[in-house]
Amino acid sequence: MSYLHNIGAYTLMIIQIFKKPTKWSVMKKLILKDIDDLIIGSLGIVAFISFFVGSVVTIQTALNMDNPLVPKSLIGFATRQSVILEFAPTFMSVIMAGKVGSFITSSIGTMRVTEQIDALEVMGINGINYLVFPKLIALLLYPFLISISMFLGILGGLAACYFGEFATVNDYLTGLKEDFIPYHIVYAFIKTFGFAFLLATIPSFHGFYMKGGALDVGKASTVSFVWTSVAIIALNFVLTQVLLS
């Protein structure tokens, strides 16, 4: 029953986000702050992980190509498909569930513990709109992070090919262009927008409705990460079946 209660409370929270909006002059500052915290602040970890995971995908593909009849261009092809279809949109979103999701839950949860949310509601402010809506708008820029992840993942694969001498640069670039389907980019970004919605709302839900003291903020962040990751993986399965089948 607790799961049904949480699903119902989460649905009501989504509806409440768009009711009784905060003044634009105030909301604009909140949105810009969340863009800085959630998007700009994540550039470093996204760039680092993407580059080296792209390199690892390339190395593993090259080391498992034992048949001399298989063209070396397959390395670039496999790296492109892995990075664009799954690594950048899905794997990176699970990582962001740990970084961004925990930040959102802990920041809102701390406001709940210190009764700042109660103060907002006493002043007649819609606390859910004030706290969650700016994060939802900020994460509309999440595809920007994913596009950087795609680029650096492929670039990391190129660097691994060149320095590891697994294939020539021309072979790798040929593989990148081989059988390219532009719809795969569209598919990846559709998933990304869905994941961005989950990243903004599920951690906010766990932070806004948490109970207890300061120690419970950490527990709420952990639970938030788990459920956000589960939701991302489940949505990934559904969208893949719908969009690629």
Q: What span, in angstroms and rounded, lies between the C-alpha atoms of 101 and 96?
A: 7
Average pLDDT of the chain to the nearest whole number: 91
Asked if pLDDT for residue 152 goes beyond 90, the answer is: yes
Q: Is the dihedral of CA 231, 104, 189, 48 positive or negative?
A: negative
Asked if pLDDT for residue 66 goes beyond 80, the answer is: no
Residue 1's pLDDT band (boundaries 50, 70, 90)? low
Q: Work out the average pLDDT over 48-76.
A: 88
Q: What span, in angstroms and rounded, lies between the C-alpha atoms of 221 and 152?
A: 29
Asked if pLDDT for residue 63 goes beyond 90, the answer is: no
Q: Work out the average pLDDT over 128-147.
A: 94
Burial of 10 (0-12, 13-18, 19+ CB in 10 A): middle
Taking the model in full, what pTM does it have? Answer: 0.92
Q: What span, in angstroms and rounded, lies between the C-alpha atoms of 49 and 57?
A: 12
Helices 127-138 and 183-208, axial angle in degrees (round to 10): 150
